[in-house]
Amino acid sequence: MADVAVRETGTARSRRPRRSRQVRTLSGVDRLTVALMVGIPTLVVATLVWGPAIATVLLSFTDWNGIGNIGDINFIGLENFRNATTNYPPFAPAIQHNLTWLVVFFLGPTLLGMLLAVMLDRELRGSRIYQSIFFMPVVLSLALVGFIWQLIYSRDQGLLNSVLGTQTDWFGDPDINLWAVLVAAGWRHTGYIMLLYLAGLKAVDPALREAAAVDGAGEVRTFLQVVWPVMRPVNIVIIVITVIESLRAFDIAWVINKGRNGLELISTLVTQNVIGEASRVGFGSALATIMIVISTVFIIIYLIQVMREQRR
């Protein structure tokens, strides 16, 4: 009887239709939605970013002055690049000023932003208020920051001269205006770095700090040997952002004196040649291409580090 029951049960199971795995296919509406979600951003990026970037690189090898039709464009090879590096006096000061901007940003606002993030991560009393105060300049554009600091640096009615009792032209003197602008730009950059680093610190596993404390490590040693290595991806992001911010610095220098009189930057030279009185689009495009190449080097380094982290 038991054998018969087993055979009947097996027969019944064999007769049951097997459920086939159904592959879910997208409907026409779903496909259209996905196509729009992918296609529209891709079109916008290609039109507003990649298109102008490629056009800039191509125009850098021409002598086009922006006047006339496209048929007036003549290919001149590397002539614009040779003129920029050998026969264009503002180019060397602009490179020097951008490098100064980079070094000062690393040694000043970047380190200060990290220090503020470490202090605020300790959940001090009123830390929310401090975060808001330090982050407030980040929501302002550099152009607006320039207008604000003009009120502080004004020679006749500025706050700084009123406090010091001096008549210094902070934005007009070519010997000191770069440093004055760096203080104003660093005021904004400090809050930006603080926010990024604070977000990274919040993501660190608390168990790592607890294990270090059990082993008898102090706060400084815990940060340098435990937290800092874990923050490596955030550190790379901050380095890349600081480099790019230093290279594309433009707004505040242009607002103050059109990038002249000691405030020459690569970005201001590009603007002066492309839309200025000279209207040398080809030459300005060569300067912009130099900026693109330098920025691309750091972006590639960042992407390599990101791919290494993903492989790990």
Domains of the chain: 52-90+264-312 (no CATH), 96-232 (1.10.3720.10)
Question: Residue 22's pLDDT is what?
Answer: 52
Question: Residue 166's pLDDT is what?
Answer: 83
Query: ∠ CA 56-58-64 to the nearest 5 degrees?
Result: 80
Residues β-bridged to residue 62: 75
* 143 neighbors 137 (Cβ within 8 angstroms): no
Residue 93, both tokens: 């000061």
The alpha carbon of residue 160 and the mean position of all alpha carbons in its chain are separated, in whole angstroms, by: 31
Q: DSSP 3-state assignment of 62?
A: strand
Question: Residue 280's pLDDT is what?
Answer: 84
Residue 44, both tokens: 């916008």
| End-to-end CA gap in the chain | 60
Q: What is the DSSP string of 83-137?
A: HHHHS-TTHHHHHHHHHHHHHHHIIIIIHHHHHHHHHHTT--TTHHHHHHHHHGG
* 265 neighbors 273 (Cβ within 8 angstroms): no
Which long-range contacts does 148-152 make (Cβ < 8 Å, 24+ apart)? Answer: 148/184, 149/180, 149/183, 149/184, 149/187, 149/252, 150/256
**Distance between CA atoms of 177 and 183, rounded to whole angstroms?**
10
* 283 neighbors 85 (Cβ within 8 angstroms): no
**Distance between CA atoms of 106 and 239, rounded to whole angstroms?**
8
* 197 neighbors 114 (Cβ within 8 angstroms): yes
With a cut of 50, which residues of the chain have pLDDT below it? 1-2, 4-6, 8-9, 13, 20
Question: Residue 306's pLDDT is what?
Answer: 74
Question: Residue 5's pLDDT is what?
Answer: 47
**Phi and psi at residue 75, in whole multiples of 5°?**
-80, 125
CA distance to 10, 23, 84, 94, per residue, from 89 (Å): 92, 67, 8, 9
